[in-house]
């Protein structure tokens, strides 16, 4: 009798090439193309479970997924072999065998997102779809002061999408930072979990503060009010990256269970 093998994968993809992670009938999602490639190697259908289901246009440098298979293959087959059948906009970075108790979604205790915003009078061209854009000058110090108010355990109802299916709006934000690198503003968020559109809604609020519409304290007031109506519009998906998912070290995933891969600001 052949035993079932559970394999964990580290995946990177350009989200502007897909209509989100989750499988759809039209097949134009990351899950669809990745499962199709895995099936070619496994010789049978494969179903993926993922750490975080990203929306249309959202990128990932360190997505984590797992699947079960009866196929006995070397790990290189799940990396180089699978990549042979993938489009250039998605790639498997690593693969490792885990035991049956591992679950890519339910065992992740921390996730990290980075938003890269091009703050320039003219829009990006080479990086179109890879960074967000806002043309008026933004005050990053005001934005950083506001972001610091997010740290801690809070009800983030004011920053969740109306279609969010999470059972609770309460999340623990471990870190939230804003920094400028030339014409780029880099916003980093690290929490035990995120609500639907939460990061993009936070970015929208921070941009309002950066352009002088409100003082930094306004962000805390909106958060305490727990009403989405009083927050800023959802910002575009282009500059958002899932760049870290953390697991307990016992699973021996690459990086001792802390999978962090930050998208870098290009030096053009």
Task: Count each helix (H run) and each strand (E run) in the chain, helices first.
Answer: 6, 11
On whether both 71 and 117 belong to a single domain, the answer is no
On whether both 255 and 214 belong to a single domain, the answer is no
Residue 268: predicted pLDDT: 39
Structure-token pair, residue 222:
């909106």
- Count: domains in the chain: 2
Query: Which of the residue ranges 31-35, 215-219, 247-251 would you say has the lowest mean pLDDT?
Result: 247-251
Residue 264: predicted pLDDT: 66
Residue 267: predicted pLDDT: 44
Is residue 267 in some structural domain? no
State the catalytic residues: 55
Is residue 69 in some structural domain? yes
- Which residue(s) pair with 78 in the sheet? none
- Which residue(s) pair with 11 in the sheet? 63, 92
Is residue 140 in some structural domain? yes
User: What is the tens place of the pLDDT at every residue in 91-100?
Assistant: 999 999 999 9
Residue 204: predicted pLDDT: 97
Angle at 23 between CA 70 and CA 55, to 5 degrees: 130
User: What is the tens place of the pLDDT at every residue in 147-192?
Assistant: 999 999 999 999 998 777 778 989 999 999 999 999 999 999 999 9
Largest CA distance in the chain: 67
On whether both 84 and 149 belong to a single domain, the answer is no
User: What is the tens place of the pLDDT at every residue in 25-59?
Assistant: 786 999 999 999 999 999 999 999 999 999 999 99
- Which residue(s) pair with 13 in the sheet? 60, 90
* Rounded mean pLDDT, 254-263: 57
| Structural domain of 212 | 110-237
């Amino acid at each position: 009798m052949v035993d079932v093998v559970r394999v964990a994968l580290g995946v990177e993809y350009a989200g502007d090439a897909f209509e989100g992670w989750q499988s759809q009938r039209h097949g134009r999602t990351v899950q669809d193309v990745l499962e199709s490639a895995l099936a070619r190697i496994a010789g049978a259908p494969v179903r993926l479970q993922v750490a975080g289901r990203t929306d249309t246009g959202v990128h990932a440098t360190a997505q984590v997924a797992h699947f079960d298979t009866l196929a006995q293959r070397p790990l290189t087959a799940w990396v180089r072999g699978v990549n042979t059948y993938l489009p250039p906009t998605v790639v498997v970075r690593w693969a490792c065998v885990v035991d049956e108790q591992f679950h890519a979604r339910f065992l992740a205790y921390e996730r990290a997102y980075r938003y890269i915003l091009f703050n320039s009078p003219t829009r990006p061209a080479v990086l179109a779809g890879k960074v967000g854009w806002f043309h008026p000058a933004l005050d990053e110090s005001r934005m950083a002061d506001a972001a610091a108010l997010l740290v801690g355990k809070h009800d983030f109802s004011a920053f969740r999408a109306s279609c969010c299916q999470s059972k609770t709006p309460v999340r623990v934000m471990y870190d939230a930072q804003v920094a400028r690198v030339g014409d780029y503003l880099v916003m980093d968020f690290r929490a035990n979990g995120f609500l639907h559109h939460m990061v993009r809604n936070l970015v929208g609020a921070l941009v309002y503060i950066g352009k002088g519409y409100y003082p930094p304290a306004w962000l805390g007031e909106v958060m305490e009010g727990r009403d989405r109506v009083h927050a800023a519009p959802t910002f575009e998906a282009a500059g958002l990256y899932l760049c870290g998912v953390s697991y307990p070290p016992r699973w021996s995933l690459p990086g001792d269970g802390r999978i962090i891969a930050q998208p870098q600001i290009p030096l053009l």
